[in-house]
Structure formats: structure tokens, C-alpha cells
Structure 1
Amino acid sequence: MQNDSDRFFVLTGGPGSGKTTLIEALRSAGLATSPEAGRGIIRDQLAIGGPALPWHDPAQFAELMLSWELRSYRAALEQNGPVFFDRGVPDTLGYLRLTGLPVPDHVRNAAERFRYASHVFIAPPWPEIFRQDSERKQTLDEAERTYHALTGIYTELGYELVALPLAPVEARLRFIFAVAGLQLEPRR
């Protein structure tokens, strides 16, 4: 791997498509991971009675997402080896586009400056596993629209999207390791 962006792998896609489960499996396999901004922000905002929730103030929520993703990127610079991100800086652009909010220059600049590996793993909508919960209030239709918004953003930014198979976690892990050129160690 030539530079940091070559070892930073993004897993993105709409909500409820198995990304977080896959990130947890990657962590269990001993790899460095970075958690999703959205769920963390929602949990924190609900805990403190904060206004930066996607259903109250989507613009403020987007700013917190961007801040979280930039901090995660900087923290990953301190890690050795590959790092897998549950979403990346460009997801903030996708969220703004999805909600119809203007994309400020600083958000676009961040997405252009903080780069990841050229292959971005995208989880397609998967109705069979999609579930709503207290933090995921989106409908399946919104999840599908999120997927399409993210596909557009990552493509515009010059990334090559690699669709994850609709398959069990172990098969998805093998797929990611093969595409990323990593060796999957057997679990003990």
C-alpha cells in the first residue's frame, strides 16, 4: 500500500443493508475499524436532548457527521495496516443531497481532500434484512434513495464502487478480503 488512502476502505450504502454487522465482523477478525457517525451522533443527541438529529435539524446533523468523519480519518492515520470505515466523508455530501440541502464548499472540499482507497464497498438495499429501530427511522424507500445518492456522490468523486453481495457475513468478509487484496486469517 503506497499511501494512507490506499489502506482506508469505506463500506457505505443505505441504512439497514448490513454495513455495521460487517464492520463488527471485520473488527472481530482483528482489523482496525471506524464506527458509523450517524448512529453515534443520534445516540449522543438523544442522550443530551440535543437538536442535531436528522428529523429535527438535518443541516446541524450533517455538520456533526462531517466533524465525526474527519476525526475518524485523523484517528485512522495513527493506525497501522488497513482501516475499514463504516461510511466516509463523502457520505455527508450524499446526505445533504438526499435531504435537498445545499452542499457548502467546505463539505465538498473535505470530500475531495480526505481520500480513501479507490475501491469503495457499497451495500445494496437488502429488503430481507432491513429493520427500523429507535435510531434508524428511515423507511426502506428512504434507504434505497440513500443508496442511489451515495452511488452518485462516490462516482462523481472518482471512486470505483464495488457492490457487496447479498450474502451471509462470512461470504461478505471473504469478498472484501479478496477485493482489498488482504489475507483472511482463520478464526480460532
Structure 2
Amino acid sequence: MTTMFPDWSKALPVLGVSGMRLRALREDDGAAWYAYLSQEAVIRHTSWRLDGPGDLAELIRAYAQPDLSHSVRWAIVGPDDQLAGTIGLNEIAPAHRRAEIAYDIAPAFWRQGLASKACAAVSDWALLVQGFARIQATVLDSNAASAAVLDRCRYRREGLLHAYRMVRGEPRHFWMYARIWPPPVVGAECG
């Protein structure tokens, strides 16, 4: 299978946040990534299950091979190259022109608009430059901040997926969001 974006690590979406940029995620980002993903404030809003930084090293290596992993992920960094978060596309299905967006931001960078800017930039890039028809997101039903990010980025909430994913041993509900290109005609919905 040939990826839709063979030069993905060089063709980065423009982030549009002064002093912040996207770059390819590197193995040496693993420790900083794990440091914030393992914080209780982050854990309660995600379905991540990590036993240590080694779990992320394996993921980072997989992200470097989008043809095999069906995923790409970028680091969100400041001028000092400090990791502020990550964002990427998972479950890439070129034949269906569909992918799932996922992002995480270190708590030190919360409430600065970074997630919204990164989500908007990657969504626009995927839909308008790469030619995807649908970018979707699943959000833990208790994660109001992430739902608000998707609302700001013109995603539509499509429904609640009951017991969709196991989260620390419990089946949890997730909201399904999607952004479609071209946008659907209002009033032409099926049903």
C-alpha cells in the first residue's frame, strides 16, 4: 500500500501559533511525552494505558512508518524544541479517504489555544491538501475540553458510542465527531 503522503515528515501543516511549530515526532521525545501523559490530570481524559516510556518508543517508531502503522504523528514544539503536545492521524484508510485525528497537550500548555490551532491546521491540511473526505475523532464522554476543541474546529458531533472502548478496565462511552469535505449541504441529511 502506498501512503497518501509519502513525504509526510517534510510536508508539515503550518500551525499558525506564534513561536510554536510541528515537526516529526522523535524517539528522544518519549520521556517528555510520557512525563505528561502519566499525569492524573491527563489520564482521566484519555484511554491511554502506558506501562512506561518504552511503550511510547515503540509507537514513535511505528509512526515513522505510516505505510505499516496507518498513522502519522507530529510533535508540537516551541522555539526551544520543548514538547508541548502531539497531534496526528490514526487509522488512515486511503481507499476510503478517511482518518481519525488524535491529540494531546501537556498541562503546562493547556488553555492557550494550542490544541485548537493544531487541530485546525492538521484538519485543514488533511482535507484540503491531502484530499481526505472525512476526518473523525472519538472523545471520552467526560472530556469536555477536547469536545470544545472539536467544536471550534468545525467538527460535528454525530452521536454517542456506548461502551465503545475499554478505559482502565471499564467500558466507556465516547462521542463521535467528524469533519467532512466538501461540507454536507444543510437539510440534505439522510434519515
TM-score tier by shorter-chain length is 0.3 to 0.5
Tell which has more relative contact order, 1 or 2 (C-alpha 8 A, sep 6+).
1
Q: What's the TM-score, normalizing by structure 2?
A: 0.32
Larger strand share, 1 or 2: 2
From the two aligned structures, give the one with the greater helix fraction. Answer: 1
Structure-1-length-normalised TM-score:
0.33
